Each structure stands twice: as structure tokens, then as C-alpha cells.
């Protein structure tokens, strides 16, 4: 392709079929650039979504840890309440 372009640059008259070829190449170049730009845009969207998902995962992990700690406290308190109730029942039956 470069050789053909260099040959065309040297001509003072460019045949119609060569001009058509140049237009075709220019159109292809524009289409390729549009595809590249769309791919870049899609990549940016994907990167943004990935980063947002990372933030969401971190937040959910923190929430999970807090819920687990709260649940453990509830279980401890329930076990204590059960133990107190059992002790009261044993004292009442004696």
C-alpha cells in the first residue's frame, strides 16, 4: 500500500481508478478510526464498571463483617439468657 501511495505521489495525473482506490482507503481509515474510538469507549465503560464492582465488593465485605459481629453478640446474649433461665429453672425445682 505504501508503495502504491508513493507511486501516486509522483504522478502529475492520477487515473480515475486510482482516485477511487484512494477514496476507498480513506473511507476504510475513517471506519477503522471509528471502531478504535468505540472500542476505547467500551473499554473505559468496562473499567469503570469493574472499579465500581470492586468498591461494591469492599462495601459488602465490610457489611458482612459487621453483620457477623452483631450476630455473634446476639448469639452470646441469647446463650447467656438461656443459661440464666436454666439456672432459674433448676433453682425453682429444688
Do 18 and 6 meet the contact criterion of CB atoms below 8 Å apart? no
User: Cell digits for 59?
Assistant: 462495601
Q: What is the pLDDT of residue 10?
A: 81
Which residues of the chain register pLDDT less than 70? 94
Domain edges within the chain: 2-93
Give the CA count within 13 Å in the CB-facing half-sphere of 63: 6
Q: What is the pLDDT of residue 94?
A: 64
Amino acid at each position: 500500500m505504501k508503495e502504491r501511495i508513493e507511486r501516486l505521489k509522483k504522478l502529475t495525473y492520477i487515473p480515475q481508478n486510482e482516485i477511487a482506490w484512494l477514496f476507498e482507503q480513506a473511507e476504510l481509515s475513517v471506519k477503522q478510526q471509528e471502531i478504535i474510538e468505540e472500542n476505547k469507549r467500551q473499554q473505559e465503560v468496562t473499567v469503570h464498571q469493574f472499579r465500581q464492582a470492586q468498591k461494591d465488593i469492599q462495601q459488602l465485605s465490610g457489611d458482612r463483617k459487621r453483620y457477623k459481629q452483631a450476630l455473634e453478640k446476639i448469639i452470646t446474649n441469647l446463650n447467656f439468657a438461656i443459661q440464666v433461665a436454666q439456672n432459674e429453672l433448676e433453682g425453682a425445682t429444688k
